Amino acid sequence: MTGVITGAVVAIARLQYYDADGTLSTDSSMGSLSLTSIVLISAAVGGQFGLMPDILEPAKSGNWRHRKFFHSYALLALLVWFTYQTETNLGLDDLVRHFFTVAAAGYVSHLLLDSRTPAGLPWV
């Protein structure tokens, strides 16, 4: 659920950031999609990627230390770095940059919430 909200919020924030006059609108390759479509798709993508860490490393009964690399601070740092590289690479299509950032934000929201639990996250 947090990934859904994160995806929608990041989509709106990103569109706001890239719009020169400060009003929400779509631009370049996203022009064929309406703002509502982009926000809804972003919410779905953020929601799916918010579930991804527990799909990759499921918590089963008796394996409370299920959090490994895909639940680690190392992956969180890699995702933040890679998202920055993607977001600042203007050679990439805007749609690709947008949805990569939304997906990464959904994933990172899961890691940040898990990091606040007693089990926490491993460094690697």
Shortest distance (Å) from residue 100 CB to Zn ion: 21
Binding status of residue 106 toward Zn ion by CB under 5 A: no
Q: Which is nearer to Zn ion, 57 or 87 (CB)?
A: 57
Amino acid at 88: T
Q: 45 and 37 in contact (C-beta within 8 Å)?
A: no
Stretch that binds Zn ion, among 24-32, 40-48, 52-60, 84-92 (CB under 5 A): 52-60
The residue from 48, 73, 94, 114 that contacts Zn ion (CB under 5 A) is 114
Q: 80: which 2 tokens?
A: 């933040």
Binding status of residue 53 toward Zn ion by CB under 5 A: yes
Q: Assign 108 to helix, strand or coil.
A: helix
Stretch that binds Zn ion, among 16-24, 41-49, 82-90, 112-120 (CB under 5 A): 112-120
Amino acid at 3: G
Q: Which is nearer to Zn ion, 47 or 53 (CB)?
A: 53
Applying CB under 5 A, what is the total number of residues that bind Zn ion? 3
**Cα–chain center distance at 114:** 15
Helix, strand, coil percentages for the chain (3-state, nearest 5): 70, 0, 30
Binding status of residue 54 toward Zn ion by CB under 5 A: yes
Rounded distance between C-alpha atoms, residue 51 and residue 96, angstroms? 20
Interface with Zn ion (CB under 5 A): 53-54, 114
